[in-house]
């Protein structure tokens, strides 16, 4: 798999809840902060999106936004109104449809649920706010997916639950692609790095051969760059040096294996490129603050309580 697909797979994105929202007149809704990946798209009309310490953004029909580690935010037709609790209006009873009057403005919104404790691996690497305007070249693809998703939410046909989840998965990847295409690799963080010819190749190499004892010089040579230029560009796009990224990826894989009842620590260490169980344990403890055995036992205890 490519690195983005592999990361999403690691995070065990089990489901994505989505809801249709209709509103008319003057309204304002506040939604609480949530350590998750949220999205919303305007199908008709328009509204304001207001986040702390940022100027409000006007959203029009065809615009989509994503929030990573979503802070508290407000959606409103009128920013002078005192916002209501959005969860009561928009999320009550986990219904597929929320209403505030008529349907001058129609939106689809939802959040992605991760089954893995490693969710921050993705969320921390994404920009906190990604806005995709209707005028972008890739907007037509998003619009097509949103139209089908809207039909599935409106009509409770057999298999609609499964199809809705798959459509939202597709919507996420389309939105991330569109964001990188619009912003460019230099301004898209880790997502841009995946799409960069040189750094993206290096990431794919590390993911494909996670047990290899990579050196910065070796990676630089493999992608046709000098060591210093490669190290600078990798850190600028990914947000950390190459070998730190490799360490973090290995430890995320280790944590998933441990929480999947992996018992052979020596074998796991070898698969992840460590010469010994103690070297693996030291790397794990340096990142997470405790040993692999403790991580495994803590997860087992948590499951027992559940």
At 93, which CATH number?
2.60.120.280
Claim to verify: residue 263 and residue 121 sit in the same structural domain: no
Residue 220's pLDDT band, with cuts at 50, 70 and 90, is: very high
72 in Cβ contact with 31 (< 8 Å): yes
Tell me the percentage of the chain whose pLDDT exceeds 70.
Answer: 90
Distance of CA 285 to the CA centre of its chain: 26
pLDDT at 306: 47
Give pLDDT tens digits for 52-91.
Answer: 989 999 999 999 999 988 889 999 999 999 999 988 776 5
Flag whether 190 is in a domain: no
Under the banding of pLDDT at 50, 70 and 90, the label for residue 260 is: confident
In a domain, 206, yes or no: yes
Neighbouring-strand partners of residue 28: 76
Q: Say yes or no: 24 and 162 in one domain.
A: yes
Residue 54 to residues 57, 73, 102, 115, 216: CA-CA distances in angstroms? Answer: 9, 10, 29, 31, 38
Q: How many domains does the chain have?
A: 2
Can you give the pTM of this predicted structure? Answer: 0.75
- The alpha carbons of the chain give a radius of gyration, in whole angstroms, of 22
CA 168/CA 243 separation, integer angstroms? 33
Q: Are residues 123 and 205 both part of a single domain?
A: no
| Range picked from 11-25, 209-223, 245-259 for highest mean pLDDT | 209-223
Q: Within a domain: residue 188?
A: no
Residue 286 has a CB neighbour count (10 Å cut-off) of 10
Q: Based on the domain organization, do 290 and 175 belong to the same domain?
A: no
User: Could you give the CA distance from residue 143 to residue 42 in angstroms, rounded to a whole number?
Assistant: 10
Find all residues with CB under 8 Å of 177, minimum gap 6, and list them.
138
Q: Of 183, 208, 230, which marks where a domain is finished?
A: 183
pLDDT in tens, 21-37: 899 999 999 999 887 78
Task: Kindly state whether residues 160 and 201 are assigned to the same domain.
Answer: no
Range of the domain at 216: 196-305
**What CATH number corresponds to the domain at position 219?**
1.10.10.60
Q: Are 186 and 237 in contact (CB under 8 A)?
A: yes
Q: What is the mean pLDDT of residues 31-54?
A: 90
């Amino acid at each position: 798999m490519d690195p983005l697909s592999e990361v999403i797979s690691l995070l065990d994105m089990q489901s994505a809840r989505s809801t249709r929202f209709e509103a008319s007149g003057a309204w304002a809704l506040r939604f609480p902060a949530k350590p998750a990946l949220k999205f919303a798209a305007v199908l008709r009309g328009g509204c304001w999106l207001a986040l702390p310490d940022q100027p409000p953004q006007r959203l029009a029909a065809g615009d989509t936004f994503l929030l990573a580690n979503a802070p508290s935010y407000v959606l409103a037709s009128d920013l002078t109104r005192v916002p209501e609790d959005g969860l009561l209006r928009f999320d009550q009873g986990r219904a597929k449809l929320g209403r505030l009057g008529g349907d001058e403005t129609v939106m689809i919104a939802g959040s992605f649920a991760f089954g893995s404790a490693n969710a921050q691996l993705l969320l921390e690497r994404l920009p906190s706010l990604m806005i995709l305007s209707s005028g972008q070249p890739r907007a037509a693809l998003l619009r097509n997916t949103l139209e089908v998703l809207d039909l599935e939410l409106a009509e409770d046909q057999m298999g609609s639950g499964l199809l809705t989840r798959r459509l939202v998965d597709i919507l996420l990847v389309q939105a991330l692609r569109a964001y990188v295409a619009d912003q460019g690799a230099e301004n898209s963080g880790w997502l841009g790095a995946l799409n960069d010819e040189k750094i993206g190749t290096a990431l794919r190499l590390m993911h494909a051969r996670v047990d290899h004892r990579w050196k910065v010089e070796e990676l630089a040579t493999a992608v046709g760059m000098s060591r210093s230029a490669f190290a600078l560009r990798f850190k600028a796009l990914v947000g950390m040096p190459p070998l730190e990224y490799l360490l973090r990826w290995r430890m995320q894989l280790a944590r998933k294996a441990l929480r999947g009842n992996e018992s052979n620590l020596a074998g796991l260490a070898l698969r992840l490129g460590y010469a010994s169980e103690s070297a693996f344990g030291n790397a794990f403890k340096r990142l997470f603050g405790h040993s692999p055995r403790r991580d495994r036992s803590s997860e087992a205890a948590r499951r027992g309580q559940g």
